[in-house]
A and B are shown apart, each in its own frame.
Chain A
């Protein structure tokens, strides 16, 4: 009766094997590494840069384990820190000839020593490849910032842009209004007679569906009011949040942090986690930095041509800028519009289905653009991006015709380039202002200290329980201890597999879960003893002991799980870290304490037909006699 079928043992063995494989990366430790990322949004990390890095390393005879592009940066790994530091100096010198003005960030960090699949392997392999546990900031040190996005500002901005849309529409259709304006988050247009109002209403409902339109007033004082629709408002805010995340991501990339986390939290918050960063002031400086965008005319006079050729000075009232790609341009100083007037920039297609960038500017901007473009058809207009006080030409298209509030840049670009340009134009500033509402900084030594404390808590607690179990329940206690160790192994494997963030409260949860998990084995062992006490044969006692304890174990784990799920659902920050481990631990403990320990017992005792004694410690019988130590 105490035998598992073969498939059951196989299942247990497979579970154990998977557990071992996924826990393995945690023992490999970390190797020194280097990360190269772009310090300016106009520079991209590409194969050409990879070649330059490889060249520089080869020339200096620095041997790297690998050099490859991962996401937005180039990563390398080195056998030791000396090589790493030498490599940084070499690469830094090669990529940033101008020491005062960095093009690329070269940062040192640590990566797992565990072998990684090559970049050419399919994504599925990458996904399932074992990785070490992801440590939270309280364990490895770093900066955590929670930002609140000002959603009211987003709504206001949207209403502003829609009101300028309406104004342009009315003008196009020759509908005379007595003024279009934004009032709070609504758009208001005034009219003098009912007929015009109705025409305007029909037009607005047709052309500006994002707003819910309503009419009011009487006589000559008529009003058309548009309120943002719920869905449209949500879309706009969602988009603003996404754009903020992208912009912040780009800026943070320049810091060279190895595993930055930038995530949306709730409807209007952004979490930023930068492991290894110790200087929050630098981060807030980067967040607050506004890259500005300016549109200016290109100077193509003879003097300017001469200046470009290097035969004359830059003409008065003009400046020399470098275009993305390296060519120089002479641009007039006079600014047509700035990024503040730009409402949106999106990659799209022109009428010939060629990639293009669609721009839309606000009412004030469109008036200026219209005037300037009318006078300058056939000339080039430059769009400049200023970052850290240094300007660069993003693109300089030729003006084909008079421009309005919406226009397009097209021709001679791929769809990737169009998307890049649109991103750059949008990155001028954050889509909505953000406010830091929570900031945590954990020093590096504190992180290492916390790991040691958490680890020791688990270690000594586990040792104490193991000793006690083995002393009190003898062989059954040993089985329980092995089951508990398997529980720990599976929990570690699950945490590594899911890449759930392990924090100090999470480590406390590991300790607590182990302390609670032993309950299942105590229940079982006590039941088996009780059956023996009541005179059952050893095999029957084992069988019914496990059988009867199961219902109780299930009940008690469900109640604990309810508490765990509540913490997971409502908790945040440290509580979430605790809850994740707690819930996972309950699941693994049910598996290991019941199935695995039973497997061990079955393997040991199951085949013995005439079993007389079971090593489960002393079984005391109330009748007084037959108090014999069992198990020898």
Chain B
């Protein structure tokens, strides 16, 4: 098999302006949604309580919401999680309520609504382990509702996590810029980071538009994607450098076109492979990994676009020249270098 049979270099750079305008529009739309709608931050950032319960029968969301709202915890969110039997309840932070007790109180109330009574039940994750858990049982001995997971995050933790996230992003951006400037040239480093930061904003824009939950795991995905799509720019820049050395007659635009065309096959196959993995996570990873995989998918798609069409174009407009890169190759043939081979 061979997917790509390209006879001549494709003149990508001729349309560079169009690509960048498309990119700019998407970027502006993302910023617009981020500003107007804002991110739907998970309780890891905002502080609060999350309770996941599983009903024996498909859950009546309205009923559950009514029960929890009756407890006066402020603005609560009740929604299905994964299946129709799983329900996720989010409660905001309240200064006057002891947070560690919230979970117990809510579960007790939910249990009462199902005509059950609370008690302890032997609960082993696997046969052979001992453990006890809160269980809600009816008079008939059935368990109408089960506590699957609960999470409480205090306000100070949330604030720190948000700060740490911002620090991590700054570290990645600076680290990558320094590395690329050192390995290639500052123009490439600026081009790559502009192109890939706009990917990050676009991912965030998607999360703002659809109001998907932005959690710590999604943040990890965003940063991983940032590192990953910079790869793409690096591969193309590597080729640009090589083409500058090899084809002395080509001008900058042709060199860039050649570099993009010759890495085309690799770009599509690599991203296709990574996307297969991500798709597998999207299909089999369950609700916990759902948004993680979504962030990666968006990141990978826009990563290709921005690396191929945006980064190279920005580098071109910044005025990349043969001399910027090929000077390093002269050093390779420095006759005084003891490691260089004999020069005839």
**Contact stretch, chosen from B18-26, B27-35, B72-80, B123-131:** B123-131
B183 within 8 A of A: yes
Kindly report which residue of chain A lies nearest to residue B230, judged by CB atoms. Answer: A559
If A439-B150, A575-B220 touch, whether A566 touches B2 (CB-CB below 8 Å) is no
Kindly report which residue of chain A lies nearest to residue B169, judged by CB atoms. Answer: A566
Inter-subunit contact A442/B149 (CB<8 Å): yes
**Contact stretch, chosen from A304-312, A422-430, A449-457:** A449-457
Inter-subunit contact A562/B219 (CB<8 Å): no
- The CA-CA distance from A565 to B178 in the complex, in Å, is 15
A512 within 8 A of B: yes
Tell me which of A514, A572, A622 has the highest count of chain B C-beta atoms within 10 A of its own C-beta: A572
- The CA-CA distance from A453 to B290 in the complex, in Å, is 11
Interface string of B161-172 (1 = CB under 8 A from A): 100110111011
Interface string of B249-290 (1 = CB under 8 A from A): 000000000000010011001101111111111011110110
- The CA-CA distance from A459 to B270 in the complex, in Å, is 18
Residue from the list B123, B171, B224, B265 in contact with A444, Cβ < 8 A: B123
Inter-subunit contact B265/A465 (CB<8 Å): no
Residue from the list B124, B156, B285 in contact with A454, Cβ < 8 A: B285
Inter-subunit contact B227/A560 (CB<8 Å): yes
If A109-B129, A556-B234 touch, whether A445 touches B2 (CB-CB below 8 Å) is no
A358 within 8 A of B: no
Inter-subunit contact A446/B148 (CB<8 Å): yes
Interface set, chain A 584-603, CB cutoff 8 A to B = none
| Majority DSSP secondary structure for residues of B touching A | helix
Interface string of A492-523 (1 = CB under 8 A from B): 00000000000011001101101110110011
- The CA-CA distance from A570 to B100 in the complex, in Å, is 27
Inter-subunit contact B223/A574 (CB<8 Å): no
What is the total number of residues of chain A having a CB less than 8 Å from a CB of chain B?
102
CB distance from B160 to the nearest CB of A (A): 8
Inter-subunit contact A438/B217 (CB<8 Å): no
Inter-subunit contact A566/B168 (CB<8 Å): yes
Inter-subunit contact B176/A468 (CB<8 Å): no
If A505-B217, A518-B270, A578-B217 touch, whether A439 touches B151 (CB-CB below 8 Å) is yes
A563 within 8 A of B: yes
If A439-B150, A443-B146, A526-B265 touch, whether A460 touches B283 (CB-CB below 8 Å) is yes
CB distance from B269 to the nearest CB of A (A): 5
**Which of chain B's residues have a CB closer than 8 A to the CB of A618?**
1-2
Interface string of A279-290 (1 = CB under 8 A from B): 111101000000
Inter-subunit contact B175/A437 (CB<8 Å): no
**Which of chain B's residues have a CB closer than 8 A to the CB of A148?**
154, 156
If A443-B148, A558-B179, A566-B223 touch, whether A461 touches B128 (CB-CB below 8 Å) is no
B238 within 8 A of A: yes
Inter-subunit contact B2/A620 (CB<8 Å): yes
**Which of chain B's residues have a CB closer than 8 A to the CB of A556?**
230-231, 234-235
A561 within 8 A of B: yes
If A555-B234, A564-B224, A567-B168 touch, whether A278 touches B278 (CB-CB below 8 Å) is no
Inter-subunit contact A447/B125 (CB<8 Å): yes
Inter-subunit contact A278/B133 (CB<8 Å): yes
**Which of chain B's residues have a CB closer than 8 A to the CB of A442?**
148-149
Interface string of B205-237 (1 = CB under 8 A from A): 000000000011101100110111011001100
Residue from the list A146, A278, A284, A557 in contact with B131, Cβ < 8 A: A278
Inter-subunit contact A552/B131 (CB<8 Å): no
B292 within 8 A of A: yes
CB distance from A445 to the nearest CB of B (A): 7
- The CA-CA distance from A511 to B183 in the complex, in Å, is 29
A440 within 8 A of B: yes
B318 within 8 A of A: no
If A146-B157, A523-B235, A620-B5 touch, whether A582 touches B131 (CB-CB below 8 Å) is no
Inter-subunit contact B132/A278 (CB<8 Å): yes
A141 within 8 A of B: yes
A551 within 8 A of B: yes
Inter-subunit contact B280/A457 (CB<8 Å): yes
Inter-subunit contact A472/B156 (CB<8 Å): no
CB distance from A272 to the nearest CB of B (A): 13
- The CA-CA distance from A523 to B146 in the complex, in Å, is 50
- The CA-CA distance from A30 to B128 in the complex, in Å, is 9
Inter-subunit contact A110/B128 (CB<8 Å): yes
Kindly report which residue of chain B lies nearest to residue A484, judged by CB atoms. Answer: B273
**Which of chain B's residues have a CB closer than 8 A to the CB of A438?**
152-154, 157
Inter-subunit contact B274/A518 (CB<8 Å): yes
Tell me which of A31, A148, A276, A618 has the highest count of chain B C-beta atoms within 10 A of its own C-beta: A276
**Which of chain B's residues have a CB closer than 8 A to the CB of A465?**
273, 276-277
A436 within 8 A of B: yes
CB distance from A549 to the nearest CB of B (A): 9
CB distance from A519 to the nearest CB of B (A): 4
B104 within 8 A of A: yes
A571 within 8 A of B: yes
A489 within 8 A of B: no
Inter-subunit contact B156/A505 (CB<8 Å): no
Q: Which residue numbers of A lie inside 8 Å of B, CB to CB?
A: 30-33, 81, 84, 88, 107-110, 138, 140-141, 146, 148, 256, 276-282, 284, 435-450, 453-454, 456-462, 464-465, 468-469, 471-472, 504-505, 508-509, 511-512, 514-516, 518-519, 522-523, 526, 529-530, 551-552, 555-567, 569-575, 578-579, 582, 617-620, 622
Q: Which residue numbers of B lie inside 8 Å of A, CB to CB?
A: 1-2, 5-7, 44, 52, 99-100, 103-104, 120, 123-134, 146-154, 156-157, 161, 164-165, 167-169, 171-172, 175-176, 179-180, 183, 215-217, 219-220, 223-224, 226-228, 230-231, 234-235, 238, 262, 265-266, 269-270, 272-281, 283-286, 288-289, 292-293, 296
Q: With A460-B284, A472-B269, A559-B227 given, can you name 7 additional A-B contacts, CB distance below 8 Å?
A: A282-B132, A436-B99, A504-B288, A508-B293, A523-B266, A562-B179, A570-B167
Closest 9 CB pairs of A and B: A563-B227, A444-B125, A515-B277, A461-B280, A278-B133, A32-B128, A437-B154, A556-B231, A108-B130
